[in-house]
Amino acid sequence: MNPNSADNLVIAGKSYSSRLIIGSGKYKDFQQNLAALENCNAEIITVAIRRVNLGQNADEPSLLEVISPQKYTILPNTAGCYTADDAVRTCRMARELLDGHKLVKLEVLGDQKTLYPNVTETLLAAETLVNDDFEVMVYTSDDPLIAKRLEQIGCVAVMPLGAPIGSGLGIRNPHNIRLILENAEVPIIVDAGVGTASDASIAMELGCDGVLMNTAIAEAKDPVLMASAMKKAVESGREAFLAGRMPRRLYASASSPVDGVFF
């Protein structure tokens, strides 16, 4: 492999050097969010679409004035949507407010307690959005059949959960993630469930193309430091994957030769 060739993440024809995508939720304030973003070198950041607060002070800065769409790729999500119709409507509003920007994160939830994806509604929404010229990065379960179906519909990336959103439980079913990776011809990005750096490394060591996380950074005691940890975790996990790990063995395999012992 040419050591000079960039191992970039390509999504919908656009190349990114960072394989870490972060969210903008749950931070203390915009400044902390921006500091974390800068510290982890992420290039893509998710945002939510919500009503303007009509009583609000017009002088207060808005998120996109602090985290600029000129500098970062903004990835609007459909958080809070429980139906395909709401998700599609949200994406259309997002596209309008971002001047025709087509890249979206589709998530259609099925249950408030677990925030587990409703995959049947997700399939419907994905089809409508792809037909309406969106570039869809889709949050889904770790079901390999659904993941492949979403790819076949035309999603530009498939994003299986590691564990429920905000749970920090890590990669609960690495075997399913591997099955998804085996069949995939689009980037597979673990989205949801990452809790700490090793979780992100594990996802990358499996062969994932990237990791998306929000709570793992925002709810760390020191989010800006955790952002740095996550950057390194994603990079090291990726290098370990590309390096090709040693085999696992049931028994020991000595690292020092037996020949020449003098006792």
Partner 1 sequence: MQIIVNDRQHEVDARSNLQQLLQELGITGGRIAVELNGEIVPRSGFKRCLLHGGDSIEIVQAIGGG
Catalytic positions? 105
The nearest distance, CB 29 to partner 1, in angstroms, is: 10
Give the nearer residue to partner 1 in terms of CB position, either 164 or 207.
Answer: 164
The nearest distance, CB 25 to partner 1, in angstroms, is: 4
Task: Spell out a b/e string for 206-238, using b for 16 or more CB atoms within 10 Å of the CB, else e.
Answer: bbbbbbbbbbbbbebeebbebbbbbbebbbebb
Give the nearer residue to partner 1 in terms of CB position, either 50 or 175.
Answer: 50
Interacting residues toward partner 1 by CB under 8 A: 23-27, 30, 33, 46-52, 54, 58, 62-65, 69, 74, 76-77, 79, 89, 92-94, 96-98, 165-166, 214-215
The nearest distance, CB 98 to partner 1, in angstroms, is: 7
- The CA distance from 203 to 196, in Å, is 12
Nearest Cα to Cα of residue 19 among 195, 189, 171, 216: 189
Task: Give every CB contact of residue 115 below 8 A, 6+ residues apart in sequence.
Answer: 109, 164, 165, 166, 192
Q: Which residues are paired to 76 by β-bridges?
A: 47
Give the nearer residue to partner 1 in terms of CB position, either 76 or 195.
Answer: 76
